[in-house]
A and B are shown apart, each in its own frame.
Chain A
């Protein structure tokens, strides 16, 4: 009798719990699962929503991405550009680690001020950051060329535009990372450093043998978020580079051929490849995350 009553209560609890998570499940099914399946299915067709044509074409769209006379160059170049722009991730991390260790030194005063200043770009509107830098990199009237008395075509050269974007993204990205690394470094117990000092260790030894190994969780976090964000770069292409060819990323390709030219099959094929790469990176990083050390 007692047991029966308990079972009923448990069942009721389970049903209530399911009701509580149902919004999450509905959102996932409608906006992620179904859309992913539809997009995947489109990648095997020649779907064009304007003409209404939709024919099963097998792997034709994937083949086109790598061989078609017009799409091939645009697609492969967008991959190269995206990978090139990913350089800002390691640059940002190296600079952030160095700044964070400088700022964490006990003798250093004014931490709060520098932290506030470094984090400013993270709370500045995306459009604003891109516009300010676009103006500063301007070839004829820009401050950067004026400062160096140069005429460097930052915004029109296919390689320099990427260099400019990396500079801008490192400037905009270090804020968050410095704060994360500082938080990570503050968790390291002083005892480690004191013990090393007794053994006569120098600053470099302490940095490479204590600080760096013990901030690997932050390092791991910043690498993953940096790569995932880097693969999805889009706003910069339009706002900073004005769609300049050398700046076009994979997401720009997907948007341009999808919503822009209504070649949904082609764009879906590219988007599926992008999703596969991002999922693979995330999975690999979690698999090889054993080098991450946790202090606790």
Chain B
């Protein structure tokens, strides 16, 4: 009797496990399939993409769309423009955020609580409620079709990053900083020489997602940039769709694919790191 129950349980849990894998495999397929389809489409001649029915693989393989993308839009320029925004914003913005967090976490700052709450209230304000005046300011300075409107605000730091750094610095013992003070180190020096090296993992985790956010930003660049030679990657890729009336699927898919490769490659190489960064950032782990 007992043996039969045990056996039924074993069969049951095998069935459950099997069902679990079935669900997960279907899920994984759903996640990956659009990418496979995208890549296969890039190798199709245009006629093959405007036929009814299921045609997964190209009948006539061609790499025409790849050459066309570079001819139609300044793709390399787009990457360069995106990096022109990324590098100063990430480097300077992370630094100013860390410096500000240092004052909040480790120094006597007047009205620090009220100040922090005020700064954090900006996280609740949607960009949609701010961009009209911002747009007006930049266009009156003749700075539309310029990357400055995308760079400058970021240099003043990122408040969610500040908040995260403050929490992280809370776990760093004051004794380390006190020791430096006795050695006659100024606050800035002890920030640079003691805090920054310790803050490295937190900065990397936050920096990764800020980088991702800037790379994928579409709204702000699409407002400020109307000329192709100044466009960042996302609005530039969108031009491929607009110029061809949205009908040249191989071309559009190639643009989509090319604009995704750098991030996906970085992600696949450092995926372990991304996962822990994600948990750190949301404060769950």
Give the chain B neighbours of A28 by CB distance below 8 A.
Answer: 118-119, 122, 156, 159
Give the chain A neighbours of B37 by CB distance below 8 A.
Answer: 132, 135-136, 143
Whether A259 contacts B264 by the Cβ 8 Å rule is no
Give the chain A neighbours of B23 by CB distance below 8 A.
Answer: 102
Residues 107-128 of A contacting B (Cβ, < 8 Å)? 107-108, 110, 112-128
Whether B133 contacts A128 by the Cβ 8 Å rule is no
Residues 191-237 of B contacting A (Cβ, < 8 Å)? 191, 212, 215-216, 218-219, 222-223, 233-234, 237
Q: How far is the CB of B266 from chain A (nearest CB, A)?
A: 8
Segment of B1-9, B64-72, B168-176, B271-279 in the binding face:
B271-279
Whether B125 contacts A275 by the Cβ 8 Å rule is yes
Determine if B85 is an interface residue (Cβ-Cβ < 8 Å).
Answer: no
Segment of A55-63, A68-76, A229-237 in the binding face:
A229-237
Interface residues on B, range: 35 or more
Whether A127 contacts B30 by the Cβ 8 Å rule is no
Determine if A131 is an interface residue (Cβ-Cβ < 8 Å).
Answer: yes
Whether B132 contacts A259 by the Cβ 8 Å rule is yes
Interface residues on A, range: 35 or more
Whether A279 contacts B264 by the Cβ 8 Å rule is no
How far, in angstroms, from A20 to B139 measured CA to CA in the complex?
A: 31
Whether B282 contacts A180 by the Cβ 8 Å rule is yes
Q: Show 5 residue pairs from A and B whose CB-CB distance is below 8 angstroms, ordered by the A residue.
A: A30-B156, A146-B54, A232-B127, A259-B132, A275-B125
Q: A35-B133, A274-B129 are in contact. List 16 more A-B contacts (CB 8 A).
A: A17-B107, A20-B107, A24-B96, A35-B134, A38-B136, A49-B139, A99-B27, A114-B24, A127-B237, A128-B255, A140-B50, A140-B52, A238-B218, A239-B238, A255-B131, A259-B223
**Chain A contacts to B: CB under 8 angstroms:** 10, 13-14, 16-18, 20-21, 23-28, 30-32, 34-36, 38-39, 42, 49, 99, 102-103, 105, 107-108, 110, 112-128, 131-133, 135-136, 140-141, 143, 146-147, 171, 175-176, 179-180, 183-184, 186-187, 217-218, 221, 228, 231-232, 234-235, 238-239, 242, 250-251, 254-255, 258-259, 264, 267-268, 271-272, 274-275, 278-279, 282
**Chain B contacts to A: CB under 8 angstroms:** 13, 17, 20, 23-24, 27-28, 30-32, 34-35, 37-38, 41, 49-54, 96-97, 99-100, 102-104, 107-110, 115, 118-119, 122, 124-137, 139, 153, 155-157, 159, 162, 187-188, 191, 212, 215-216, 218-219, 222-223, 233-234, 237-238, 241, 246, 249, 252-253, 255-257, 259-260, 263-264, 266-268, 271-272, 274-275, 278-279, 282-285
